[in-house]
Copies of this chain bind each other. A is one copy, B any other.
């Protein structure tokens, strides 16, 4: 019916150079790009001039039913594909992490068209790299747990799981959790055996990205309006303290120089 292909592409957290090379190539060959609202101007600057760009993301107050929106995305994908176009469905982050990628896969399989997924850097990983937030550390923390927005009131089980994960010294990464953060921190402060560290990383990889770190007590008292801007990812756990402020243990310039001099005195080759 057509020679086109559909790519479901992860755009990563926002910076255009955090797309994969494969994602960039798919974009460059796209005739039609169906794009989420969260896709940044920086990423949009990579869109080919000739491409048709269609906004299919949720816009605040647009009143569209989520199922209907998803069905419309499916319809648009298949319509442009049937016209022989190369179609890119561009999603922020990674298509399989809170991205409804599976719904689109199921639809495309039913439609029997050729498609391919391209992974993207997920915000939690990008945040950890940008702000040196430990996710795992040998001998300290070996589990990483991703959760979407926490429903503290309705579904206590979510918070029970998070509490177990923190008490186990694992790392917890929460997406879309900004609105309930104070409430969650308040509950954690009451129920955890000790205060735990919380990092809120806002607009990861954007030029105005920001981090706010503190413990459960700090965040349980903070005014919601003082929190960094959305979109944000929350990373918490007993071993998630950003090591940037360890100045006391810092090697002084003199001993560093002497250390390097010693190394340079060794035969200049692979030590392994």
Contact = CB atoms under 8 A, between A and B. Distances in A.
Contact of A96 (B82, B109, B136, B164): B136
A46 to B, nearest CB: 9
A263 B79 contact: yes
Nearest to A246: B109
Nearest to A256: B111
B103 A137 contact: yes
Q: How many copies does the complex hold?
A: 2
Nearest to A71: B271
A3 interface: no
Interface residues of A, number: 88
28 contacts: A1-B260, A12-B20, A17-B21, A20-B20, A20-B21, A20-B121, A54-B270, A55-B270, A64-B272, A78-B256, A82-B260, A83-B264, A95-B129, A96-B125, A96-B135, A97-B135, A102-B132, A102-B136, A105-B243, A106-B243, A106-B246, A112-B251, A112-B253, A117-B130, A120-B125, A142-B148, A143-B145, A164-B164
